[in-house]
């Protein structure tokens, strides 16, 4: 079983992973609104390079309020037009995702930049969407919960701590936990480029202490201070920023 996270539009590279014929677990963030290294993505396609550069700067500073206000200002007076353009780009990216995944098999959950319902509707046969649900793979119980930590952006893919705790409680103990968001452990959620503590879930950390799954796989933090950690017997593993690495992690 192979795992990836933070695909962010790297669908040609994802197709090469699918072509191996192994089951693939995708831990969210299929869409690419803006690549914070290059500016590529929906923001540049629709709003232009200056907008994307400003969005990147706000993101580095963690100023979600300013970022949200910039989106409002840009769309003022033509909200429907801009909304339709964004929807078309999202549909185009999810169509490319579908093409990349065709013929493969595995499990998918959403990340903070994803639109959960659209992601689910674009999955081809062979891939199952999981959010707060479990499946048995090779005799091991795999549980997955999607979504990123809440921010001032109020994105469709964000999840609050209470909701995350509810999903985890419903699942109960698992052998393998897959989430988009890391546990609230500073070294796992600190981005060494921005120097900031990014999203991390207290509910996930408490679940690890309580149930001690064999392994917890996650993504979300693109340049983490630490990509591996131990919580009791649980191995915590950030499977990497797939858009940058094009590499999958093998579950062993």
The mean of the pLDDT values for the chain is: 92
Lowest mean pLDDT among 28-42, 93-107, 125-139, 221-235: 28-42
Q: Which of 3-12, 26-35, 103-112 has the lowest mean pLDDT?
A: 26-35
- The whole-number average pLDDT for the span 155-180 is 96
- Rounded mean pLDDT of 130-145? 97
- 226 pLDDT more than 90: yes
pLDDT at 164: 98
Pairwise CA distance, residues 246 & 214, whole Å: 25
Is residue 193 predicted with pLDDT exceeding 90? no
Instruction: Tell me the sheet residues that pair with 129.
Output: 108
- Whether this prediction's pTM lies above 0.85 is answered by yes
Looking at the predicted structure, is the pLDDT value of residue 200 above 80?
A: yes
Q: What is the pLDDT of residue 85?
A: 86
CA distance 173 to 246: 31
Distance CA 217, CA 236 (A): 6
Residue 89: which CATH number? Answer: 3.60.21.10
Long-range CB pairs of 115-124, under 8 A, 24+ apart, other chains included? 115/31, 115/90, 115/156, 115/157, 116/146, 116/156, 116/157, 118/90, 118/91, 118/94, 119/30, 119/94, 122/94, 122/95, 122/97, 122/98, 123/98, 124/98
Residue with more model confidence, 72 or 86: 86
Q: Mean pLDDT lowest for which of 66-80, 172-186, 224-238?
A: 66-80
Q: Which domain holds residue 12?
A: 2-250
Calculate mean pLDDT across residues 105-117: 97
Q: What pLDDT is stored for residue 225 in this prediction?
A: 97
Give the model's pLDDT for residue 36.
Answer: 78
Strands 249-250 and 2-4: antiparallel
Lowest mean pLDDT among 39-43, 209-213, 232-236: 39-43
* Separation of alpha carbons 142 and 85, rounded Å: 37
What is the C-alpha separation between 213 and 180, in angstroms, rounded?
Answer: 16
pLDDT at position 201 is: 97
pLDDT at 241 over 80: yes
Q: Give me the number of domains the chain comprises.
A: 1
Per-residue pLDDT, averaged over 131-143, amounts to 97
Is residue 122 predicted with pLDDT exceeding 80? yes
Q: What's the per-residue H, E or C state across the chain?
A: CEEECCCCCCHHHHHHHHCCCCCEEEECCCCCCCCCCCCCCHHHHHHCHHHHHHHHHHHHHCCHHHHHHHHHHHHCCCHHHHHHHHHHHHHHHHHHHHHHHCCCCEEEECCCCCCHHHHHHCCCCCEEECCCEEEEECCEEEEEECCECCCCCCCCCECCHHHHHHHHHHHCCCCEEEECCCECCHHHHEECCCCEECCCEHHHHHHHHHHCCCEEEECCCCCECCCEEEECCEEEEECCCHHHHCCCEECC
């Amino acid at each position: 079983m192979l795992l990836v996270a933070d695909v962010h539009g790297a669908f040609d590279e994802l197709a090469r992973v699918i072509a191996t014929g192994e089951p693939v677990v995708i831990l969210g963030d299929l869409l690419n609104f803006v690549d914070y290294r290059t500016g590529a993505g929906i923001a540049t396609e629709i709003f232009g390079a200056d907008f994307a550069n400003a969005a990147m700067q706000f993101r580095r500073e963690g100023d979600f309020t300013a970022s949200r206000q910039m989106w409002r200002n840009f769309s003022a007076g033509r909200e429907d037009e801009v909304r339709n353009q964004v929807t078309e780009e999202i549909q185009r990216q999810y169509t490319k995702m579908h093409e990349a995944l065709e013929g493969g098999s595995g499990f998918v959950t959403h990340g903070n930049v994803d639109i959960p319902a659209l992601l689910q509707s674009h999955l081809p046969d062979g891939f199952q969407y999981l959010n707060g649900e479990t499946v048995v793979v090779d005799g091991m119980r795999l549980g997955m919960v999607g979504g990123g930590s809440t921010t001032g952006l109020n994105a469709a893919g964000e999840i609050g701590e209470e909701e995350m705790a509810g999903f985890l409680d419903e699942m109960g103990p698992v052998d393998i936990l897959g989430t988009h968001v890391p546990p609230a452990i500073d070294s796992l959620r600190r981005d060494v480029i921005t120097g900031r503590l990014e999203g991390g879930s207290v509910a996930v950390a408490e679940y690890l202490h309580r149930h001690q799954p064999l392994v917890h796989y996650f993504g979300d933090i693109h340049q983490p201070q630490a990509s591996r950690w131990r919580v009791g017997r649980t191995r915590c593993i950030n499977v990497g920023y797939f858009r940058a690495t094009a590499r999958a992690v093998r579950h062993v």
